[in-house]
Amino acid sequence: MDLDQAARPAPRAPRMSGDQRREQILAAAVEVFAEGGYAGTTTDQVARAAGVSQPYVVRLFGSKQRLFLEAYRHTMERVLGAMSAVEAGPGAVERTGRAYVELMADRDLLRVLMHGFTAEDPEVTALARHTLGEVFRLFRQRVEPDDPDGDETARRFVADGMLINVLLSSDGFAHVGEDAGFDALLRCFAPEVVAAGTAAAGDHAGATA
């Protein structure tokens, strides 16, 4: 009994290759940073989410800041990768739009991206600006290059993207039926979601307005 309970030193998780662990921790970091941002997240939270100890996280990445930078870069590459994968040609505008919308499936991605814009660290904000610029550029080069309205179309695309990011970051799609004005805005994007949401909410809605 004593041998069974006390002597057992907690069934340690199996070892993993360093690279695997790095990827795992990075994935956990994206998840946790998406929620709390840089300052609002502890290395311990990341460690727990990844199932390792806090000091190990710090040692693997050098510092919290570097961990965040790597997580951010990781995010950036996935976003830009998705946009780069769209081939040019007729209908490219619509297909690029769909590519961005599909990014919403992983809420964390665009939320981390968002934290980059409001970050304090100049290195992070520089990455964030670069990402935004690349999104613009990638879209732009898929529009007829000599279309005089191309810049305008691309700017609108980026602007809509930022609105989506904001809606996602503020968890807007999960708070339908609480604010009339906000619902109206949401309805522009997903009328069916709002219709279903307001019907379902109705009772517990505090209707801020």
The site for a second copy (CB under 8 A) is made up of 35-40, 111, 114-118, 120, 125-126, 128-130, 132-137, 140, 151-152, 154-156, 158-160, 162-163, 165-166, 169-172, 175, 178-185, 187-189, 208-209
Give the rounded distance of the alpha carbon of 102 from its chain centre: 12
Q: Do residues 45 and 35 touch, judged by C-beta distance below 8 A?
A: no
Q: Which of 23, 27, 58, 162 is close enough to bind DNA by CB under 7 A?
A: 58
Minimum CB separation from a second copy for residue 196, in Å? Answer: 18
188 binds DNA (CB under 7 A): no
DSSP assigned state of 14: P
Amino acid residing at 108: D
Which of the listed partners (DNA, a second copy, none) does 65 bind, with a CB threshold of 5 to 8 Å by partner kind?
DNA
Of the two residues 63 and 208, which places its CB atom closer to a second copy in the complex? 208
5 binds DNA (CB under 7 A): no
Q: How many CB atoms lie within 10 A of CB 159?
A: 10
Which of the listed partners (DNA, a second copy, none) does 199 bind, with a CB threshold of 5 to 8 Å by partner kind?
none
All residues at 6 or more sequence positions from 139 whose CB lies less than 8 Å from its CB, including other chains:
83, 93, 96, 153, 154, 157, 158
Which of the listed partners (a second copy, DNA, none) does 15 bind, with a CB threshold of 5 to 8 Å by partner kind?
DNA
Minimum CB separation from a second copy for residue 158, in Å? Answer: 6
Q: Where are the alpha helices (DSSP H) in the chain?
A: 2-5, 18-36, 43-50, 54-61, 64-84, 92-103, 107-117, 122-140, 150-169, 180-189, 191-201
Rounded to a whole number of angstroms, the distance between the first and last alpha carbons of the chain is: 62
**What CA–CA distance (Å, rounded) separates 209 from 206?**
9
All residues at 6 or more sequence positions from 92 whose CB lies less than 8 Å from its CB, including other chains:
86, 142, 143
Minimum CB separation from DNA for residue 125, in Å? Answer: 19
44 binds DNA (CB under 7 A): yes
**What CA–CA distance (Å, rounded) separates 90 from 92?**
5
Q: Which of 2, 4, 7, 15 is close enough to bind DNA by CB under 7 A?
A: 15
Q: Which of 13, 174, 188, 209 is close enough to bind DNA by CB under 7 A?
A: 13
Which of the listed partners (DNA, a second copy, none) does 70 bind, with a CB threshold of 5 to 8 Å by partner kind?
none
Site for DNA, rule CB under 7 A: 9-10, 12-19, 21, 41-44, 51-56, 58-59, 63-65
